[in-house]
């Protein structure tokens, strides 16, 4: 079977939006260069879409036109390497998933434990945010929640009141163990983030000893201004949030 025919058959079995490279195909039989040429030819003919150099995907149609691949697919090689987790999605795409905003963006943010320069992939700009906590498969959601609290004022198409109300609902849905993990992870976040988390947990009648640990990490005379969330989080003044 010719390289293009074999590639076309395999692509037909891939999910829409799945991002692939020549490595996803049998290069031992047809050769790396033949596979690359075949993929580029198919992209030129409109059979597949080219994301960036060496990266392709099958587009999915909607009533608004062709859909771009999911952010997770665009940067999946930047989230795991050799089956080891090295990053997680954060930023606007996650705020959208958490129903904190209806907006989305071509800017993809990735949290990771070491600095890395921004890069481009087609229409997407990939930025990296330093995460001081060790990233594990079991704490990604907690880190995404804390990132959302940290950037509460920056979330577009919402108000502080609506965003914090949604955050309170999300944190309320966690069990006590998960809420305790949030407290532990928050100790490596900004004081304002810790104060916001503390005020939410106090409203939720969270364990007093855990709250005491969180409050002890803060300067008792520091205030965090321009949040105006007291109508939603009654305990916010107790944490210096104005």
> Which pTM value belongs to this model?
0.92
Inter-axis angle of helices 191-203 and 140-150, to 10 degrees? 110
Give the β-pairing of 84-85 and 119-121. Answer: unpaired
Q: Are residues 13 and 117 in the same domain?
A: no
Choosing from 34, 51, 67, the residue where a domain stops is 67
Residue 20 sits in a domain whose CATH number is 1.10.10
Same domain as 50, residue 30: yes
pLDDT of 227 > 90? The answer is yes
58 lies in the same domain as 76? no
Specify whether 78 is located in the same domain as 172.
yes
State the Cα–Cα distance between residues 50 and 204, nearest whole angstrom: 48
124-130/19-20 β-pairing: unpaired
Provide the pLDDT for residue 186.
98
User: 202 vs 65, which has greater pLDDT?
Assistant: 202
User: Using one digit for the tens of pLDDT, what is the confidence trace for 72-122?
Assistant: 999 999 999 998 999 999 999 999 999 999 999 999 999 999 999 999 999
Contact by Cβ (8 Å): 171, 201: yes
pLDDT at 146: 98
Domains in the chain, number: 2
- Tens digits of residue pLDDT in 207-219: 888 899 999 999 9
Q: Is residue 202 over pLDDT 60?
A: yes
Tokens standing for residue 54: 């060496």
Statement to judge: residues 178 and 80 lie in one domain: yes
Task: Kindly give the residue spans of alpha helices, DSSP state H, lying in the chain.
Answer: 3-13, 27-30, 32-44, 71-74, 76-79, 92-97, 140-150, 160-172, 176-186, 191-203, 208-216
Buried b (16+ CB within 10 A) or exposed e, 147-175: bbbbbbeebeebebeebbbbbbebbeebe
Same domain, 98 and 169: yes
C-alpha span between 116 and 139 (Å, rounded): 21
CA distances, 242 to each of 148, 192, 195, 228, 239 (Å): 19, 11, 11, 6, 9
Residue tagged 């201004």 (tokens): 225
Residue-level pLDDT at 61: 81
Range of the domain at 114: 71-239
User: Predicted confidence band at 60 (pLDDT cuts at 50, 70, 90)?
Assistant: confident
* In a shared domain, residues 159 and 235: yes
Q: Please indicate, yes or no, whether residues 194 and 213 belong to a single structural domain of this protein.
A: yes
Summarize pLDDT for 10-44 with one digit per residue, the tens.
Answer: 999 999 999 999 999 877 766 888 899 999 999 99
Joined together, the tokens standing for residue 107 give 């800017």
Cα separation, 182 vs 49, in Å, equals 40
């Amino acid at each position: 079977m010719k390289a293009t025919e074999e590639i076309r058959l395999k692509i037909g079995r891939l999910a829409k939006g799945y991002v692939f490279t020549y490595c996803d195909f049998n290069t031992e039989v047809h050769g790396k260069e033949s596979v690359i040429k075949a993929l580029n030819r198919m992209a030129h003919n409109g059979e597949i879409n080219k994301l960036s150099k060496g990266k392709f995907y099958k587009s999915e149609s909607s009533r608004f036109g062709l859909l771009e691949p999911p952010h997770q697919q665009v940067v999946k090689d930047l989230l795991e390497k050799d089956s080891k987790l090295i990053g997680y999605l954060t930023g606007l795409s996650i705020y959208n998933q958490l129903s904190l905003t209806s907006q989305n963006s071509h800017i993809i943010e990735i949290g990771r434990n070491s600095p890395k320069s921004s890069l481009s992939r087609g229409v997407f700009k990939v930025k990296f945010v330093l995460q001081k906590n060790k990233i594990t498969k079991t704490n990604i959601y907690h880190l995404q929640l804390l990132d959302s609290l940290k950037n509460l004022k920056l979330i577009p198409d919402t108000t502080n009141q609506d965003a914090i109300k949604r955050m309170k609902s999300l944190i309320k849905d966690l069990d006590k163990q998960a809420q305790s993990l949030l407290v532990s992870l928050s100790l490596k976040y900004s004081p304002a983030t810790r104060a916001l988390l503390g005020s939410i947990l106090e409203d939720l009648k969270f364990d007093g000893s855990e709250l005491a640990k969180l409050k002890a990490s803060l300067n008792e005379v520091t205030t965090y201004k321009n949040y105006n969330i007291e109508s939603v989080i009654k305990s916010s003044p107790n944490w210096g949030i104005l």
